[in-house]
Each structure stands twice: as C-alpha cells, then as structure tokens.
Structure 1
C-alpha cells in the first residue's frame, strides 16, 4: 500500500513538473516582440547605427524650452541643428514626443522625407507631416497639463525616402522606418505649463 501510494505521488509530481515546464515554455513563446518601434530597425544588418548630435540655438540640452515654442506662446517649432548626418543618408525623420504625459507617450510632431540638411529653421515645414496626438497635422508645442515634462526632439537618418502619404500616424511612420535607420540622435528640453 505504501509503495503504491508512493508511486502515485511520484506520478503526480512528474505530471506537475511537466505541466509547469509547459506553462513556462508557452509563456516564453507568447511574449510579444515590439517590432513597431524605430529601435526595431536596429537588426543585425544595422549594427553600426551612427550618432547624430542634435542642438538648438533656442535652448540647451536638458534646459527649459522657451514659451514661444509651446502652446502658451506662438506654438511654432524651434530651430534645430544636426551634426554627423551620414553622407549616404537619403532622408531624415523627425519625431517630437513627451514620455511624461499621463496616459502614454504623447506625440507632438512627426515629419519625414526631410532633405539631409544641417539645420531646420524655426516655424517651418521641412518635410511631409503626419498627425500628432492633438489629432492635427503639423507641430503641436509642449503643453503639459501639470508639472515639468521632458520633450524629446529625435532625428533619424534613413537610407531611403519613405512612400508614406501626408497625414499618416506615428505607427505607420515607424513601420516604414524599420530596417532603414542608419543614424539617430536626440535633444531633450523641459517645459512647465504657465
């Protein structure tokens, strides 16, 4: 009887281990892979993504963004300068966002098919614009509901022009960028709503 009971316990233990092992295996294979981010473009073929230095004559890195470039002011894009754009770059993409927004990262501006230039002037449309999270096409300046937020001005150099219509959204843009990023950079500024 004891031997029989021991065998039954052993069978249950083995079955339990197999069940747990199967659950862990399934959990690993069901973990989603984020392929919608420009970061996903950094596949093995793009291991050597170069760095672009992004700066602005309007504010220093990690400094305060002047009100002129926000919803409290003229709500125009600030001037931006780039150093280190690769010669083989066919176009630039520009994304401005706020990762400190309450619900999700809030997109303020997306622009693509920008000529590989060293500077974007203030209050300009340098390329094809998409829809921001204000549900408008074009630039929407920093406008945090409360507190100080960080705003990232990100540039990506691509090895091609994008076949994307004006008014497209950020996800569509990021999908088109996958596998074509050859250099990138960012400038971060801060703003507190008045």
Structure 2
C-alpha cells in the first residue's frame, strides 16, 4: 500500500520548527482536537495551539493547514486552512480557529474546509478505518497576501502558494475510531 505523503510532489523547501502545547508529533490527538460536529463523543473542534520559529529569511506571511491524507476519499480531507498570517506572528492560541476566528490576527483569512465551514473541524476517522494522520503545517510564504478569495478551497490555497513557499514546518497528530 502506498502511503499518501502530501508533500511528495511539491518542491523541497527548508524546514523550520513548529511546536504545540496541544499536539505531540506522532501521538493521538486530544479530545479537544476531535470533532463533535462529526459525532465524536467529547470532541470540541478546537484548533490546536501552535508556535513556530526559524522561518527562512524573506518570509512575509504564513499559512496554516491541517490535512488528513488517510480520509476515505480520493483527495484526503482538509480540516483547516488559514492564509495571510502576518510575518511577525509566530504563534496561534488554542481555539483560534472557531467560527469567528477570534484568536487569529486581523489580516488572516480562514477558508472553508472540506466540511464547507470556515473554521477548524477536528478529527473524526470512521470506525474500523484504522489510524488517521492529521498533518499540521505552517507554510512560510514570500508574499503578504496570497490572493486566495475568502470562499476559496484549501486545495486552491495549496496550488496558489506552491510557488511562494520558502519553508514549511509540520507535526502530525493521529486518531483512530474504535468500533
């Protein structure tokens, strides 16, 4: 079986550091980052706290994405996409990705995810589908405004920013439904 690597066909770029008080790389997501909207008991659909450092010189903004390459679709599942985070911002508080984006910088734009809501939606792997990976990525960009419309998709964001990425930092949370 081929493992879906979301970066396999993208240009290689330098890495930098991303950490979270809510997500440990390679470990299961906490209930707060699971989806009550999709029926996970105790799920809060709260975006994780993120902090990053060491972005490449020339970074003018950031985008943050959360993607499940293991979703039972041919295209994975986008849980969150935020663009136009100013370069001087190097962290987001937990819960920043609520309906209002209250914890996001003023210039930032939350795009509708694959559930078609402009907010973070937590993990909700189907029972019996095995472990899912939630790839949380901070993308350092060479433009202040990536130019994606507010109703654009995360895939459109990814396509548009592909030639503007100076660096990327990722950590991966996991989840598995028992059943």
| Aligned position for 1:163 | 147
SS at match of 2:160: helix
Judge conservation of contact 1:130–1:167 (CA < 8 Å) in 2.
Answer: yes
Distance 2:56 2:8 in 1: 18
TM (normalized to structure 2)?
A: 0.77
Judge conservation of contact 1:54–1:82 (CA < 8 Å) in 2.
Answer: yes
Q: Which runs of 4+ in 1 moved over 2 A?
A: 37-42
TM (normalized to structure 1)?
A: 0.72
Question: Which stretches in structure 1 are left out of the alignment for 5+ residues?
Answer: 1-36
Judge conservation of contact 2:112–2:153 (CA < 8 Å) in 1.
Answer: yes
Residue 120 (1) aligns with residue 92 (2): yes
Judge conservation of contact 1:38–1:181 (CA < 8 Å) in 2.
Answer: no
Question: Which stretches in structure 2 are left out of the alignment for 5+ residues?
Answer: 1-5
Distance 1:67 1:139 in 2: 14
Distance 1:40 1:118 in 2: 27
Computing the radius of gyration from Cα coordinates, the structure with the larger value is 1
Distance 1:143 1:57 in 2: 21
Displacement of 1:59 = 2.6
| Aligned position for 1:79 | 49
Alignment partner of 1:151 out of 115, 134, 149:
134
Displacement of 1:192 = 2.2
Distance 2:8 2:140 in 1: 13
Alignment partner of 1:106 out of 77, 97, 107:
77
Pick the structure with more helix per residue: 1
Distance 1:98 1:74 in 2: 17
